[in-house]
Chains A and B, each alone.
Chain A
Amino acid sequence: MVWKTLLRHCIAQPAAPRRQDPAAVAALRQRLAAAGHEKLGRSLAIRHVAAGSCNGCELELRATQNLIYDLTQYGLSFTPSPRHADVLLITGVAGGNMIAAARQAREAMADPVLVLAMGDCAVDGGVFKGSPAIAGGAEAIMPVDLFVAGCPPEPAQIIEGLLALLEVNDILLARPVRVPR
């Protein structure tokens, strides 16, 4: 069973890889160039922090790693330690109970860091906008570089956003170290 399936995979044609969303790249390039950003490599390690999500975004984020989307083919991978991470990926509304922990994760990362807010909740609170229990989106608790909207965004959209980070990354020069607060 195991061997047969593995063999089938070896001879199967893989799906064509995805491309970054050009609009997102252009917008991000402008934004980061204005801020001046230190160069990172072509391979980014991502630390995901769920800051008050409904867990729908996590399901789709996990799906980017499956056999169809295969995130690692682009040089993107998840890491458990913020110390090893280049990208902080935030899902959820930035709930009051997660503000301190999310900021600690950001502080534990070595600059330069790219921050991506994924899902409508992380963009601006989504349907939970206005609840007194939340800060209302990742930007309310730290500077954010890129937003990927959707409730939840589909795996293809998430990958396009991450590829945009890769794309702008190699043209940018020294950006001052940012300390969140």
Chain B
Amino acid sequence: MKLLSSQDWQAHAGKFIALWTDAQYAYALYQPAELVATPLVEGAYPALRHKGAAWFQRLAHDGYGHNAIGAADTRPAIEHFRSADGTAPWPEFASPGGEGVHQVAVGPIHAAIIEPGHFRFSLRGEEVLKLEARLGYSHKGTLALMRGKSPRLAARFAARISGDATVAHSIAFAHAAEAALGMTPPPRAVYLRAIMAELERLANHGSDIGAIAGDAGFSFLDARFALHREVLCEAARAAFGHRLMMDMVIPGGVAGDMSSGGAAAILAALLALESELPGLTRVFEDYASLQDRVVGTGVVSPALAAAYAAGGFTGRAAGQNHDARVSPGYAPYEHFGLEVPVEQDGDVAARIRIRLAEMTESIRLIRDMLANLPDTVIAMAPPSGSGSGLGVAESFRGPVWHWLRIEAGAISDAFAADASTLQWPLVEFAAATGILADFPLINKSINASYSGVDL
């Protein structure tokens, strides 16, 4: 960590990833893993100008009451219900104005089986002029619950920051705890973690692509991909005892070894998916009515993606070549020569193509890892030390970062940034490139997590 004066803090250049505060400092994280900090002065710090910083500054204010001096956007991010009498006044949603412009309010309860959030669209006819997302409905106080607990105990909260990325969050959290305590997990645990993470990626990429097609009225792909997700979840249960592999990754290793029939179950699920994937890809590419809905829809331009340093397939579909498995990189990916697909179009179709390419790569990775699984112990007990550490893992939707300070074996401060924190602003921009009826496709194609941001 580099300590900066407030001038240097503001002048610092680089691709901004995250910002948070503790009792003493404000921290900012830049790609690939550069951590800088500046002391808080009377609970405040100078606001950063990076595009992506606004959300984090709002979160720091809502969570800890620390102000970003000079911030342009000071709306609450998650704590809406603060008034003393428990009422929740609706904020003013600024409209772009003009003749015939009206607003449509959606949520917090949505039509499908998904998490809550409020969307306020400003429309002219069907055309979306502006979207403002009001989040925080899934707020559970997760980070505060981690304090005072040992890393092993607190891992249960990290695993529930975003259930669809439970493995990735658990890995990032374990990386942070291991960095803070200066320990290296045994090789077998590192391989098993990566196998679980790639299974999670496959399950989510597939079911999201299917769901996008389903939203375009094309339920065939939805049904097939949902079936593959089911087969992958059952393989995960056979191998690791839990369909989502929740609580399997713990600081110091993994909670249990793969079952004796686990590898065979995983390989069978991979084979089923692999043999149908080319056909499903062809269906996606060949049906004009489907392509019509996804090509040119919800464009995130490369310039916008760069300004927000967007990670994951959202960034990689718009010219960003960043993948946390490669840079900063973590074990065991250095042994497997990961291919990172990149496209420039930035539309729904490009995001789907990137995810299809990543699925093929994940299948290969899992096979290679299973074939080379080291024969060591699977976990070591974390020492009861002190220190602070940063950890990252690439979830299916992008990098997730965890930061911990541990004092005498108990967590005294914790921070977690899901990839979604940088992606929600992109959802807002992408929505304003099309009509209202395209929003479900756009939203699902980025699939930012609500819980991952609301914490």
Contacts and interface: CB of A to CB of B under 8 A. Distances in A.
A1 B246 contact: no
A51 B111 CA distance: 14
Given A1-B282, A53-B163, A55-B450, A154 B138 contact: no
Nearest to B108: A101
A179 B233 CA distance: 39
B113 A78 contact: yes
Given A80-B111, A96-B81, A128 B451 contact: no
Interface string A105-129: 1000000000000000000000110
Given A52-B140, A101-B109, A63 B233 contact: yes
Contacts, number: 142
A56 interface: yes
Contacts of A59: 163-164, 244
A56 B163 contact: yes
Nearest to A130: B145
B223 interface: yes
Interface stretch (B121-129, B154-162, B320-328, B354-362): B154-162
Nearest to B163: A56
A65 B225 CA distance: 12
A100 interface: yes
B246 A56 contact: yes
B227 A66 contact: yes
Interface in A86-109: 92-93, 95-98, 100-102, 105
Interface stretch (A22-30, A131-139, A161-169): A131-139
B145 A131 contact: yes
B288 interface: no
A105 B111 CA distance: 12
Nearest to A119: B163
Interface in B76-125: 78, 80-81, 88, 108-109, 111-116
A151 interface: yes
A80 B115 contact: no
Nearest to B118: A101
Given A2-B220, A56-B244, A80 B112 contact: yes
Nearest to A89: B113
A63 B243 CA distance: 11
B50 interface: no
Question: What is the size category of the interface that chain A forms with chain B?
Answer: 35 or more
B65 interface: no
B136 interface: yes
A97 B163 contact: no
Main secondary structure of the interface of A (DSSP, over half): mixed
A69 to B, nearest CB: 8
Contacts of A51: 116
A57 interface: yes
A95 B137 CA distance: 7
A96 B79 CA distance: 9
Nearest to A60: B243
Interface in B216-252: 220, 223-224, 226-227, 229-230, 233, 243-244, 246
A63 B226 contact: yes
B81 A97 contact: yes
B114 A66 contact: no
B109 A152 contact: no
A98 B163 CA distance: 19
A62 interface: yes
A5 B225 CA distance: 13
Contacts of A37: none
A55 B163 contact: yes
B423 interface: no
Interface of B: 78, 80-81, 88, 108-109, 111-116, 136-142, 144-145, 156-157, 160-164, 166, 207, 220, 223-224, 226-227, 229-230, 233, 243-244, 246, 279-280, 282-283, 449-451, 454
Interface of A: 1-2, 5-6, 48-63, 65-69, 78, 80, 92-93, 95-98, 100-102, 105, 127-128, 130-134, 151-152, 154
18 contacts: A1-B283, A53-B451, A54-B162, A55-B138, A55-B163, A55-B164, A56-B166, A56-B246, A66-B223, A66-B226, A66-B227, A67-B227, A98-B116, A100-B88, A102-B109, A127-B156, A128-B142, A131-B141
Given A53-B163, A56-B163, 5 more contacts: A49-B109, A55-B451, A59-B164, A97-B454, A131-B140
